[in-house]
Structure 1
Amino acid sequence: MDVTLTSADVVVLTDEERHVLTRRANAAKCPHRDLLRARIVLAAADGVANAQIARDVGVCEDTARRWRHRFCVQRLDGLKDRPRSGRPPVFTPVEVAEVKALACTRPADHDLPLTRWSTAELSTHAVAAGLVRPVSPSTIGRWLAADAIKPWQHRSWIFPRDPDFAVKASPVLDLYQRQYNGVELGADEYVISADEKSQLQALRRRHPETPAAPGQPRRVEFEYRRGGTLAYFAAYDVHHAQVHGMTAPKTGIVPFTHLVKQVMTQEPYASAKRVFWIVDNGSSHAGQASIDRMREAFPSAVLVHLPVHASWLNQVEIYFSILQRKAITTGDFTDLDDLAQRILAFEDRYNQNAEPFGWKYTRDHLNRHLNRLNNDGTLRQAA
């Protein structure tokens, strides 16, 4: 219990205490109780009486007096909530652990036609299996939310299946660091990350969108008419952040060859010593045949293939993501020409102020990742 409260408590703050309390009092996400307590103490330090503090802050006078006194006795620690015993737990630690263990299993392991648990389903199954006494879904939700393991969350991923993954991926990561075969690239050598974004749809909304209004977001019509699809080929200069692109009716060797010609016949690439082209294993540029074809057409061009399932190491995919989010998603296009114009116009706009991506993933990071997968048996299982 508090000792006798008195309005005679004089609050004198150190510079550090004033800084902490001022930050709390002005913080946008500070708990409201902490904000009020900080304002009470700051006002008290400025010589304001308890009655006036109560009116200014919006609390009763006893509340202002209490927090003023607690600060005088315990300083900043006095503004914390005191421990409370709370209601005794209804469920035993073993029951809680049994439910958490159940949540970490797959429903299919219990012959249930589900891919994931809900708290209601966990409650029903746990009670039926005798793991716990009747418990509400909300209680189970609190148990799981407080645990370090979040079994309801998932993330899709593809683990490397190529036994030579590191051998094939490392040269690409070196090129991002401006090295090739252990030698620094010269000023007249360039690195291009290239790929195609296929099946881009020209969707025409059945009703024009409505602009945002107070209390109402911008609204985009859900129904649309299909205006066909096209492919967008892009070559991204990794170190100069310039995109060279073109659209085509569909993907294939011919349009990719046109993209290569578009880039390799303009400066600075036309007179470059070497231009490295990083690509995945798509049909437009797959295999040794694509390497030979590019070398024959442009002797200074070097085609470098990523391993299978390694598009996440291809920097042009980052640009494709930006294009999709900023120029295509929720778009309203009258036809394919309208879509193509939007894509190329965005490319021009992007090139005006683009800066290289802050790529920091090196072959050392890759080797550590592959070693971890190998040590936990993932790669051995995949093989």
Structure 2
Amino acid sequence: MARTGRPKAELVLSDVERETLLRWSRRRTTAQALAFRCRIVLACAEGATNKAVAAELGVRAQTVARWRGRFVRDRLEGLSDEPRTGAPRTITDEQVEAVIVKTLEEKPASDDTQWSTRGMARATGMSQTAISRIWRAFGLKPHLVDTWKLSTDPQFIEKVRDVVGLYLAPPDKALVLCVDEKSQMQALDRTAPMLPMMPGVPGRQTHDYVRHGTTSLFAALDIATGKVIGQHQRRHRHQEFLRFLKTIDKNTPAELDLHLICDNYATHKTPEIMKWLASHPRFHLHFTPTSGSWLNLVERWFAELTNRKLRRSAHCSVTELETDVQAWIEAWNDDPKPFVWTRTADEILDSLAGYCTQILTTRTSNSDH
């Protein structure tokens, strides 16, 4: 005899409940956990089994069964988190929702650009502590803002596919090198020695310093091995870039083609550079999109250099800085760590398309108001 499984609780929505669930599931300001629970209930209300809803939404069937049962038992209130032991709540769900909506959709009546806990407390009649707790619970940080920039390069898609293709499927009998310059590296000497770290106290260094000049580091990162070819130059014109290309030529096997991933800096495209490349056909330059330096893996290596060497170092001259950095590069090459690129070009472009859609939706929503 076939097993029918555990019987499902019958789930029928009223018009008001369906409208509320749809509003909560679509509203940008709704907590994502609550929106997801609404989608579970709406799918169950269409008559689908727990297993089918779980497969559609990418969760376990037990999760679907729990929220189906909670809704059948407590209706809309059952989708909220269950109360925990302790003192009874003094702030209602309506007050919490009002704070969230006000935080996300309104601006302060004053000339401030964002809400503060004190300002929101005055506007809602609640305590500053209550506002802080609500913001922490829903991950709201009005004082923070992230920056972003979209590339305007008309060949953005082609360049992304080209560079990512080199990372994921390098050509045979070839080296793929990520090339860039870390310009304006400063030889800084602190006005007092750095104080050592102690239990409970971090290392401390003076805020003021003496600058003894700058240098530029040209670097080529081999994506296969993680090894780096580095060369210091006091300037970063096309002459210095040409000198570095010759250094790469001397320090790589002559029988291998070289695919160099570079940015769109003008010094990489001068007539002198193009002429030299024409006479050295094993060199192939691939350019990242405008404002797309995040595609160049050598930038990740520059971050390692900054965090592990430059940020806490003190140097009395440019020569001392160059010697110190070169020693660090040699130590790196003794035990190199390659950076592995994992995302495909399609994944990057799909993520960007979703982000652009979000921006467009936000702009349209703001214009409606």
Q: How does the TM-score come out when normalised to structure 2?
A: 0.69
Q: Is the 8 A contact 2:238 2:273 kept in 1?
A: no
Deviation string 1:131-165 (CA, Å, 9 cap, x unpaired) is: x2x22211101011112555444332222323431
Residue 111 of structure 2 aligns to which amino acid in structure 1? L
1:240 deviates by 1.9
Distance change in 2, residues 1:299/1:208 (3 Å)? same
- What is the DSSP-based 3-state SS (H/G/I as helix, E as strand, rest coil) of the residue aligned with 2:111? coil
Residue 184 of structure 2 aligns to which amino acid in structure 1? Q
1:375 deviates by 3.9
Q: Which residue of 1 aligns with 2:325?
A: 343
- What is the DSSP-based 3-state SS (H/G/I as helix, E as strand, rest coil) of the residue aligned with 2:158? helix
- What is the DSSP-based 3-state SS (H/G/I as helix, E as strand, rest coil) of the residue aligned with 2:319? helix
Residue 243 of structure 1 aligns to which amino acid in structure 2? V
Report sequence identity in percent: 27
Q: Is the 8 A contact 1:373 1:379 kept in 2?
A: no
Residues in 1 aligned to 2:346 and 2:277: alpha-carbon distance in whole angstroms: 30
Q: Which residue of 2 aligns with 1:255?
A: 240
Distance change in 2, residues 1:105/1:249 (3 Å)? farther
The higher radius of gyration belongs to 1
Deviation string 1:44-71 (CA, Å, 9 cap, x unpaired) is: xxxxxxxxxxxxxxxxxxxxxxxxxxxx
Distance change in 2, residues 1:251/1:106 (3 Å)? farther
Q: Is the 8 A contact 1:194 1:279 kept in 2?
A: yes
Q: Which residue of 1 aligns with 2:26?
A: none
Q: Which residue of 2 aligns with 1:166?
A: 157
Residue 317 of structure 2 aligns to which amino acid in structure 1? D
Match of 1:197 among 182, 188, 200: 182
1:294 deviates by 4.5
Distance change in 2, residues 1:202/1:97 (3 Å)? same
1:1-383 equivalences in 2 (<5 Å): 84=85, 86-89=87-90, 91-105=91-105, 107=107, 110=109, 112-114=111-113, 116-124=114-122, 126=123, 132=124, 134-147=125-138, 149-179=140-170, 185-186=171-172, 188-268=173-253, 270-272=254-256, 274-286=257-269, 289=271, 292-376=274-358, 378=360
Distance change in 2, residues 1:123/1:239 (3 Å)? same
Q: Is the 8 A contact 1:294 1:303 kept in 2?
A: no
Segments of structure 2 that go 5 or more residues without pairing to the other structure are 1-82, 364-369
Residues in 2 aligned to 1:357 and 1:342: alpha-carbon distance in whole angstroms: 23
Residues in 1 aligned to 2:106 and 2:272: alpha-carbon distance in whole angstroms: 45
Q: How does the TM-score come out when normalised to structure 1?
A: 0.67
Residue 88 of structure 2 aligns to which amino acid in structure 1? R
Residues in 1 aligned to 2:284 and 2:328: alpha-carbon distance in whole angstroms: 28
Residues in 1 aligned to 2:195 and 2:349: alpha-carbon distance in whole angstroms: 50
- What is the DSSP-based 3-state SS (H/G/I as helix, E as strand, rest coil) of the residue aligned with 1:104? helix
Q: Is the 8 A contact 1:205 1:223 kept in 2?
A: yes
Distance change in 2, residues 1:117/1:342 (3 Å)? farther
Q: Which residue of 2 aligns with 1:75?
A: none
Residues in 2 aligned to 1:100 and 1:113: alpha-carbon distance in whole angstroms: 18
Distance change in 2, residues 1:148/1:201 (3 Å)? closer
Q: Is the 8 A contact 1:160 1:379 kept in 2?
A: no
- What is the DSSP-based 3-state SS (H/G/I as helix, E as strand, rest coil) of the residue aligned with 1:87? coil
1:217 deviates by 2.6
- What is the DSSP-based 3-state SS (H/G/I as helix, E as strand, rest coil) of the residue aligned with 2:203? coil
Q: Is the 8 A contact 2:242 2:273 kept in 1?
A: no
Deviation string 1:103-130 (CA, Å, 9 cap, x unpaired) is: 22474x745143x332122223x2xxxx
Distance change in 2, residues 1:242/1:294 (3 Å)? farther
Residues in 1 aligned to 2:118 and 2:139: alpha-carbon distance in whole angstroms: 20
Residues in 2 aligned to 1:148 and 1:334: alpha-carbon distance in whole angstroms: 45
Residues in 2 aligned to 1:106 and 1:322: alpha-carbon distance in whole angstroms: 41
Residue 137 of structure 2 aligns to which amino acid in structure 1? A
Q: Is the 8 A contact 2:116 2:142 kept in 1?
A: no
Segments of structure 1 that go 5 or more residues without pairing to the other structure are 1-81, 127-131, 180-184
Stretches of 4+ moved more than 6 A in 1?
Answer: none
Distance change in 2, residues 1:99/1:303 (3 Å)? same
**Relative to structure 2, which stretch is displaced further, 237-246 or 206-215?**
206-215
Residue 303 of structure 1 aligns to which amino acid in structure 2? L
